[in-house]
Amino acid sequence: MDQFIELFKHLINPAWIIEHGGLYLLLIIIFAETGLFVGFFLPGDSLLFLAGFYGAMLSDSFFHMPLIVIMTMVAVAGILGNAVGFWIGRKSGPLLFSRKDTFFFKKKHLYQAKELYDKHGGGAIFLARFMPIVRTFAPIVGGIVQMDKKKFMFYNVVSSFVWVFSMMLAGHYLGKAFPGLQQHLELIIIILILITTLPVLIKLFFGKSKHAPPHADVNE
């Protein structure tokens, strides 16, 4: 149990991931965080920001590849993660809404993603990329409601590239413009996590879920 807790602490620490896992662990985590139940707690936004900040380190650890190539690989990992989540949703269907809650699966997260679909249709896939927790379950719900595959892939590809490039470039250029930020990365990461996660957490814990039926269609 102690080893599991220690591993959990490392996996939610973006700095540890970059310094010890490099590009390989970055790709695995982005893949898991964007479509697998087990990935909802992983630090997507702050991890991408830090990956951009340490872009030179990632480049050196992976055959000195340019940052643009690394960002593209990360975006592809996000696309594949969403695609797997979509497939899980299509295969599992409404049964997921009757599944019991576990540490890695919470029905309220499915309902949160479903409400996003009810409000924004197919565009929910794009919006969910910038919403921690919800982005893990959005493609799964997309599969459950039988969203058109071509429409899903369009939003999937566009949203992944916009999310990854915006976060990593922000970290990269801020690191270049203000080298002294390296001394305050922990504070920056905490602020970034609060900004991106707080609205979602407020909605999850204090908002009233509609608990919409799982057979609803996405028409937009």
> pLDDT, tens digit, for every residue of 123-179?
889 988 988 888 888 998 899 888 999 999 999 999 999 999 999 999 999 888 887
- Dihedral sign from CA coordinates of 47, 48, 53, 54: positive
Task: State mean pLDDT over 198-218.
Answer: 52
Residue 53's alpha-carbon distances to 168, 172, 189, in angstroms, are: 7, 4, 11
pLDDT of amino acid 104: 67
pLDDT of residue 48: 92
Please report the pLDDT score of residue 14 as a whole number. Answer: 74
* Residue 219 included in any domain: no
Sign of the Cα pseudo-torsion (45, 46, 50, 51, in order): negative
Contact predicate 212/111, CB 8 Å: yes
- 213 domain residue, yes or no: no
Kindly state whether residue 216 falls inside one of the protein's structural domains.
no
pLDDT at residue 185 is higher than 80: no
- Whole-model pTM: value is 0.81
Give a yes or no: residue 220 inside a domain.
no
pLDDT at position 201 is: 57
As a whole number, mean pLDDT of residues 186-205 equals 67
Is residue 212 included in any domain, yes or no? no
Tell me the pLDDT tens digit for each residue of 36-91: 877 777 778 888 998 999 898 888 888 899 999 999 999 999 999 999 999 999 98
Residue 38's contacts (CB-CB under 8 Å, 6 or more residues apart) are 32, 104
pLDDT at 212: 47
The total number of structural domains that make up the chain: 1
Domain that includes residue 79, residue range: 2-206
Integer Cα distance of 115 and 121 in angstroms:
10
* Spatial distance between the Cα atoms of 215 and 220, rounded to a whole number of angstroms: 15
pLDDT digits (tens, 9 = 90+) for 100-126: 887 667 788 788 888 888 888 888 899
